[in-house]
Amino acid sequence: MAKDNFVEQIADIDTDFPQWYTDVVVKTKLVDYGPVKGTMVIRPYGYAIWENIQREMDARFKAAGIENAYFPLLIPMSFMTREAEHVEGFAPEVAVVTHAGGEKLAEPLCIRPTSETIIGSMYSKWIQSYRDLPVLMNQWANVMRWEKTTRPFLRTSEFLWQEGHTVHASGEEAMEMTLKMLAVYEEFACTCLAMPVLTGRKTEKEKFAGAVATFGMEAMMHDGKSLQAGTTHYLGQNFAKAFDIKFLDKDGALKYGYTTSFGVSTRLIGAIIMTHGDKRGLVMPPVVAPVQAVIVPIAAKKEGVLQACRALKEKLSAAGVRVALDDSENSPGWKFNEWEMKGVPVRIELGPRDLEAGKCLLFRRDTLEKTECALDGAEGAVRALLGDISETMYERAKARMDARIVRAETLEELLAGVEGGNFVRAGWCGCRECEDKVKEFAQATARVLDGENTSDKCIVCGKKAESTVVFARAY
């Protein structure tokens, strides 16, 4: 690419959001399309975001006493059939291996869509006594779900995730763990992704196959649709009974354990893109940004400029800032566009006049504002600016979400709400038929139950409302 060429244009975010998303993920080199339909190749810039998510999340898991392990990719088909609701829920998405080594297998093997079954089989071997409990494990892995409609990060046939699986002596402990991990996810989303979320219990229709109760974390995207950004599941004794997870309790009785599972995936990268992106491209939250600051030399061939830029890079790096120096032959204007599209939180401009004044120019990607900063102590100023960017991004996203949560008393109001790019709170009697009617009428689904009931009647049938639900169109 010639040094004076600017980055190619991306679609307008307000008029063609789906194309904008595709343009951004490809042109910023987050991903490319894999040779098998529905798969993606996560490129280094995209994978660096996932590594930062892993690092932050893993620290939180370890603080909660959760240990990492790894379980096999291939699961005997007989395992999947032990829990009836589970196998029915995943059957349409399961990829099956029938041949290996040039021969037909005696038993087909599933490529894991999730690991409750194979992990349950191992827990049944490892757990003997109440002294072995609780078991708190997590694995970072890939899973496969044969999706018909795919989009990078949001829904692909193969994706990366973490899946936690725990076993407890009582239902109360297991439910406590389920809610604890939901809170961990929410805190992570707010502080690391600068992404406000709504959390709550899922309806029976929307719960995880085989769970007693599922709790979700829903985030509002730029177009007002919801993205399920994480889930936690109270599994009761369903999988314990299916896989014979028993323990000898203190009273000498043999009892089934109570299990949970919880997970977030590379879908979080899609959430970041669609929550914070703008007309110029990505806007990366500083905590997980692959590059937190980029130094762009101005008049780089002038004496002392590159040397000063390199010295500044060393100071920032030593201060814990993930920093890049763009000393390529591209023009400053091209570099500005390129790094803005990649969403780097801070750009630092340094040229001959800045050196003479002992200053540099800081540009913040979130508000597009510029400020001057003394070179002496610049590392402290940049770190403080990164913190302010995180807070500003969260507050802006929170204000947008709060402004776009509306109430509805009729199906027509609900339809108008979701068509206007909103989350809609409405009363619900609790019956499946009314929930299905909302989807049929407004193409909206129940995202989470909204805490205490604040509605008098069901939006569909008019009967007394059992709860208030947040309805939305969703990815």
How high is the mean pLDDT in each 10-residue block of the chain (475 residues)? Answer: 53 95 97 95 98 98 98 94 76 91 96 95 98 98 92 96 98 98 98 98 95 98 97 97 97 98 98 98 98 95 92 97 96 95 98 94 97 95 98 98 96 98 96 97 96 81 95 97
Residue 272 and residue 299 in one domain: no
Last-in-domain residue among 276, 308, 327: 276
Residue 93 and residue 210 in one domain: yes
Whether the bond between 352 and the residue before it is cis, its omega within 30 degrees of 0, is no
In a domain, 2, yes or no: no
C-alpha 197/C-alpha 191 separation (Å) is 11
CATH code assigned at 456:
3.30.110.30
In a domain, 288, yes or no: no
Residue 339 and residue 213 in one domain: no
In a domain, 400, yes or no: no
Residue 207 and residue 297 in one domain: no
Determine the structural domain holding residue 376 and report its residue range: 293-386
Domain count, the chain: 3
Last-in-domain residue among 386, 417, 440: 386
In a domain, 143, yes or no: yes
pTM, to two decimals: 0.94
Residue 38 and residue 183 in one domain: yes
Residue 54 and residue 142 in one domain: yes
Do the Cβ atoms of 224 and 470 come closer than 8 Å? no
- What local confidence, expressed as pLDDT, does residue 1 receive? 38
In a domain, 349, yes or no: yes
8 DSSP 8-state letter: P
Residue 354 and residue 437 in one domain: no
- What local confidence, expressed as pLDDT, does residue 91 receive? 78
- What local confidence, expressed as pLDDT, does residue 81 receive? 85
- What local confidence, expressed as pLDDT, does residue 337 receive? 95
- What local confidence, expressed as pLDDT, does residue 463 receive? 95
CATH code assigned at 381:
3.40.50.800
In a domain, 221, yes or no: yes
In a domain, 393, yes or no: no
Residue 448 and residue 323 in one domain: no
C-alpha 56/C-alpha 48 separation (Å) is 12
C-alpha 182/C-alpha 378 separation (Å) is 38
CATH code assigned at 114:
3.30.930.10
Last-in-domain residue among 318, 353, 386: 386
Q: What is the 3-state secondary structure (H, E, C) of 307-344?
A: HHHHHHHHHHHHCCCCEEECCCCCCHHHHHHHHHHCCC
